[in-house]
Amino acid sequence: MKTHSLNFKIRLGLFIVGGLALLVFALFIIGKQKNLFDPVYQLTTNFYNVSGLQIGNNIRFCGINVGTVDNISIINDSTVKVDLLIKKDVQRFIKSDCEVAIGSEGIIGARIIIITQGSSDAPLAKEGQYLVSKEPVETDAIMQNLMTTSNNAAIVTDQLAKIMIKINHGKGTLSRLIQDTIIAENLNQTIVNLKKSSSGLNENMKAAKSSFFLKGYFKDKKKIAQKKKDDALKEKVAAEKKEIKKNNK
């Protein structure tokens, strides 16, 4: 009987010790998440819509968790106040012109607060200071835009499919251009004729330049072009001499 009572007391003691250890461990985890064991300071910001943000959600700066959401309260029908608890050791990096935005951990993860980097010459954010916020983009709005884009893509794809079917069945001008060999040969012949015409035009221009009646015209034109080139060169040389004299003074 005494042995049974002793075993019961031992088991009860072990159960109590295990329960206390589990409680201490849970308090430690919760305290660490809530920054109860780290020195912190408070900042505040306002949103029109917190988009599912909850108390205890993480706060990130440069991709690192630096604090938690301390409190969320409705001020009026268009303003929601959010209090932020930030670790004291990162206060030297949080500037007064930093902006606060609401993001998420992955595509469908929990909401988080993201603090953007401020300018290097801005003063540090002090205890209780207000930071400017950027309104989050609602998931419903993103999904609606994706649905609209998907519907438009489906319409364009359907129209392209109809066009390709007509081309494959020989309907329309484009189909004739692609499949009719006679039209293709005519186009090739037209290109050859254009090349010949261009070559003939060049020969006619050479003949005109050597013609007795037009030789003077082309010669005068060449002299005018050369004179313009010489005048430009003289002006450049004069400007360089003027610059050299100015530098020597």
What is the domain partition of the chain in residue ranges? 1-33, 37-137, 180-210
DSSP string, the chain: -HHHHHHHHHHHHHHHHHHHHHHHHHHHHHHHHTTSSS-EEEEEEEES--TT--TT-EEEETTEEEEEEEEEEEEETTEEEEEEEEEGGGGGG-BTT-EEEEEESSSSS-EEEEEPP--TTSPBPPTT-B-EEEPPPPHHHHHHHHHHHHHHHHHHHHHHHHHHHHHHTT-SHHHHHHH-HHHHHHHHHHHHHHHHHHHHHHHHHHHHHHSHHHHHHHHHHHHHHHHHHHHHHHHHHHHHHHHHHHHH-
**pLDDT mean over 16-30:** 71
Least confident of 86-95, 129-138, 146-155, 170-179: 170-179
d(CA 20, CA 231): 101
Of the ranges 136-140, 181-185, 230-234, 241-245, the best mean pLDDT one: 230-234
d(CA 163, CA 46): 53
Q: Is pLDDT above 60 for 229?
A: yes
Q: What was the pLDDT predicted at 60?
A: 92
Q: What was the pLDDT predicted at 49?
A: 86
Q: What was the pLDDT predicted at 100?
A: 92
More confident of the two residues 98 and 162? 98
pLDDT, tens digit, for every residue of 113-169? Answer: 999 998 888 898 888 899 998 877 666 566 667 777 877 888 888 777 777 777 676
Q: What was the pLDDT predicted at 174?
A: 61
Q: What was the pLDDT predicted at 91?
A: 86
